[in-house]
Amino acid sequence: GAKIIQSFMWYLNPRQVFDLSQGGPKEALELYRKVHNLRILACGGDGTVGWILSILDQLRLNPPPPVAILPLGTGNDLARTLNWGGGYTDEPLSKILSHVEDGNIVQLDRWNLRVEPNTEANPEEKDEAATDKLPLDVFNNYFSLGFDARVTLEFHESREANPEKFNSRFRNKMFYAGTAFSDFLTGSSKDLAKHVKLVCDGTDLTSKIQDLKPQCLVFLNIPRYCAGTMPWGNPGEHHDFEPQRHDDGCIEVIGFTMTSLAALQVGGHGERLCQCRQVVLTTSKAIPMQVDGEPCKLAASCIHISLRNQANMVQKTKRRNSMPLLNDQQPVPERLRIRVSRISMRDYEALHYDKEKLKEASVPLGIIVVPGDSDLELCRTQIEKLQEEGDGAKPKTLSSQKLSPKWCFLDSTTADRFYRIDRAQEHLNYVTEISQDELYVLDPELVITQTVGTSPAMPDLVDSSAAPTGHHFAFPSSSSSPPSSPAPSAEPGHCLSHKDDLLIEAAKSGNFCKFQELHRAGRDLMVRDSLGQTVLHHAVKSGSKDIVKYIIENAPSEILDATEEENGETSLHQAAALRQRTICHYIVEAGASLMKTDLQGDTPKHRAEKANDPDLAAYLENRQHYQMIQREDQETAV
């Protein structure tokens, strides 16, 4: 941190650089309060944005400067709502500042939270660990109570007690998943409806709450929640409710059962209860709550929610004036015929500052035909259609390898280098803005292998007018079925040596200290025994959670889907068959495929069903659906 501040002071006037740990942003904003047409770029998560908006409230600037967002947080729900995306990739700063300058100014409702103690609550329900006030008295995104707040609170308390155990995003996600699954099985929030009274705009909805029996209540100000999900959904022809807006002076009240919470991850929504302007929420016992991600356990209280004000925000927009064809004063063509080429992550990282070399390293995928004013969302549909039509019996060349679910578009024209376009911002980019006659995509999981024969052939042309457009999902063929023959060269790992035999034995016996000692001494975690079983297979069989976690954190990710030779089972198949719920969690959250089948055609869900564990099977099925439709690398939502 100190080195970064010194660098800023070297490049800028030291009076323009402020240390936010020393008094926050107030001094800096005060200094610039008289600058005309001031726009602020908040680089951070939604909490950083809320911090800045609260300081602007204190300064009473007139007019208040609009705030844009460079998303660097975990969920980034407000950034997603305003089209800034779910996270920063590698877009040049000059491009970002240009978007800040050209963006539209929109309003964002902000809501007050006023808390009063509930004097009528039963004294026997008093919880000594509960607090009498919320962590924030205003929210921009959402306020919630019940299941999601309980999970967030447990994570927060555990991190406060043992910060050294929460030093990576992977471990944080593992903790969230484990806590959520534990609460899911125990039903710790199932009696929420018994202790809540809800009045919206003078209408008592308590009976509706008691009928629904939700385990979570959410008061939502923006469409996005929990790292990109949309809990209000689209009311469509449901005339009782309007589509959600962040500037209409109304707040949406949503109830979630455990079923609808699970469905949220696969495009579902909660139970729409009300759209209102004022809320009075009364609780009769201490309940976990969270305000824009800040959790607490609030004692029995009466909470009043009312509109505070509206903040000026910058919304990223499509930039028609930057389309190359329009700059040249030429009409937009009716149809575009575009060649699509794929680039591997290895080549991208090595060559993305050298456009010509990177273009030479690309692999052709095919040709698509789209309308001249198409955005990248339509192009994605056509590229995935191209992949589906290329599934026939073709030689396994680089061009015939299917795109992985994490592929993204590359801008090859508007900057001095290639850069990635966030999945959530594809609708903001016209294809003519980032491409002239060739479109490049980045596939982080493209495997460069030796091929025999001629150079890759160009697949067939796909025309968007040839069939109705729709979303097609493409997955690597290896994720849906095992290899036809378990050749050792097809999987990671190598033959067993005498030294590595000790590592296998430590995994079999569940001796974590010995296993860790052997690995640190240089033993290979990708070793296999004579039956093709990895150390992860053996750790699962021994039931050692510590060894499983250690392997996941230290071994290459290929070990997660490695299959043994006898039955074609992955370690997840075996964990499901042994009904090891926690270990299944670890492996699933690390990214193992839930769609891979063994030689009997069973997925891990099927193995859990055969082991008579319906709860584990339901969990695996839910995560399998989520994995099937997940189109971007977003943070695991609660």
| Burial of residue 355 (number of CB atoms within 10 Å: 0-12, 13-18, 19+) | middle
From residue 411, how far is each of 175, 212, 432, 435, 438 by CA, in Å?
36, 48, 10, 7, 11
Contact 231, 264 (CB under 8 A): yes
What tokens were used for 219? Answer: 């008061």
Q: Which of 200-214, 291-305, 449-463, 498-512 has the lowest mean pLDDT?
A: 449-463
What 3-state DSSP class applies to 262? helix
The residue among 265 and 63 whose pLDDT is bigger is: 63
- Indicate if the pLDDT at residue 477 is higher than 50: no
The pLDDT tens digits for 416-450 are 788 888 888 888 888 888 876 789 999 887 755 44
Return the CA Rg of the chain.
Answer: 27
Looking at residue 277, what is its pLDDT?
Answer: 95
Q: For 617-621, what is the mean pLDDT? A: 85
Looking at residue 86, what is its pLDDT?
Answer: 84
State how far the Cα of 44 lies from the Cα of 53, in Å rounded to an integer: 13
Domains observed in the chain: 2-108 (3.40.50), 111-310 (2.60.200), 320-479 (no CATH), 488-629 (1.25.40.20)
Question: Within the chain, what is the greatest distance between any pair of CA atoms?
Answer: 81
Contact 66, 312 (CB under 8 A): yes
Helices (H) and strands (E) in the chain, counts: 22, 20
- Indicate if the pLDDT at residue 400 is higher than 80: no
Portion of the chain with pLDDT greater than 90, in percent: 38
- The region that residue 611 occupies, defined by phi over 0 for left and psi between -120 and 50 for alpha, beta otherwise, is alpha
Looking at residue 527, what is its pLDDT?
Answer: 92
Alpha helices, DSSP H only, in 488-534? 498-509, 512-520
User: Which CB contacts under 8 angstroms, 24+ apart, belong to 390-398?
Assistant: 390/366, 390/459, 390/460, 395/451, 395/453, 396/451, 397/451, 397/453, 397/456, 397/457, 398/342, 398/363, 398/446, 398/448, 398/449, 398/451, 398/456
Average pLDDT over the chain reads: 80
DSSP annotation of 112 = E
State how far the Cα of 336 lies from the Cα of 438, in Å rounded to an integer: 10
The pLDDT tens digits for 513-554 are 999 999 998 888 999 998 899 999 999 999 999 999 999 999
Nearest to 41 by CA among 98, 80, 87, 97: 97
Looking at residue 153, what is its pLDDT?
Answer: 83
The pLDDT tens digits for 70-88 are 998 877 899 999 999 888 8
What tokens were used for 551? Answer: 């392997």
64-78, 143-157, 187-201, 230-244 — most confident range: 64-78
What tokens were used for 59? Answer: 């300064």
- Indicate if the pLDDT at residue 67 is higher than 60: yes
Look up the pTM and report it. 0.64
Sequence-separated (6 or more) residues with CB below 8 Å from residue 552 = 536, 560, 586, 587, 590
Q: How many CB atoms lie within 10 A of CB 133?
A: 13
State how far the Cα of 292 lies from the Cα of 46, in Å rounded to an integer: 8
The residue among 159 and 262 whose pLDDT is bigger is: 262
What tokens were used for 505? Answer: 């034995």
